[in-house]
Amino acid sequence: MDIYEVQGVEATATTQGTPIWMVAMGKPDGTIHAYAFPPSIIEWRMAEYQLDTVDEALDIVLHEPWATNPLDPLTRRDDAALRQGMVVRAPGPVVDYEPIRLHNADTIDDARTAHRIRIADAKTRVRVTPPKGKPDPLDIIRTRHGVTDEGLRQKAAHVDAARRSYRGEAVPGDPSLAIESQARQRLKEATSA
């Protein structure tokens, strides 16, 4: 397992002006690994997986780059959740199964468990840590995370609508939250291939 020690965190923006957090991490070979993500990702992960703390959401975000992607046909067979039997029936006429993920899980609890398994597996390869004996640079994200009750409510509604739409269910409320049916069918076909 490689240890990536956080060296610094900067609130910055892309060249188009989109706000991002830039996290610089020292790798074991002495080089720097930079990881950029939008500030809203913390609130999104909390809403998607119904997480209780900013700390867990931040930990997940920092380790996601090393987690297997259950949609990637090249790495799907190595998916940690799949190895633990976390599967659902795949859409389509052929009886097949696919790894549980946010949109195909029967429940958010199942999706959260599968994602936590993937993150735990990622940590067997890379662990992001604060510097030893120094202030934690990630504290700036913890104090300026921007998570609000209203933001969580809105994002959770979007997640619920997307999950329902993926499963072909009626989406209550705002029809703009629904994924157009042909696009949903293309998504199902692409993910089942």
pLDDT tens per residue across span 97-133: 889 999 999 999 999 999 999 999 999 999 999 999 9
Nearest by Cα to 49 from 61, 38, 39: 61
| b/e per residue 147-156 (b: at least 16 CB within 10 A) | beeebbeebb
**Averaged over 136-148, what is the pLDDT?**
96
Q: Residue 158: pLDDT above 80?
A: yes
Tell me which residue range forms the domain holding 100: 39-139+146-192
pLDDT at 89: 86
Determine, yes or no, domain membership for 184: yes
Q: Residue 66: pLDDT above 60?
A: yes
Number of domains observed in the structure of the chain: 1
Determine, yes or no, domain membership for 5: no
Determine, yes or no, domain membership for 2: no
Confidence of residue 185 (pLDDT cuts 50, 70, 90): low
Confidence of residue 91 (pLDDT cuts 50, 70, 90): confident
Q: What is the average pLDDT score of the chain?
A: 90
CA distance 139 to 55: 10
pLDDT at 75: 84
pLDDT at 189: 63
Determine, yes or no, domain membership for 28: no
Using DSSP's 3-state secondary structure scheme, residue 32 falls into strand
Residue 156, CA distances (Å) to 18, 60, 126, 160, 161 in order: 22, 18, 29, 6, 9
Entry pTM = 0.85
Determine, yes or no, domain membership for 152: yes
Q: Residue 178: pLDDT above 50?
A: no
Q: Which residue has the tokens 């490689």?
A: 2
Determine, yes or no, domain membership for 4: no
Determine, yes or no, domain membership for 188: yes
- Cβ count near 169 (within 10 Å): 11
CA distance 150 to 36: 25
Determine, yes or no, domain membership for 103: yes
Q: Residue 74: pLDDT above 60?
A: yes
DSSP state of 11: E
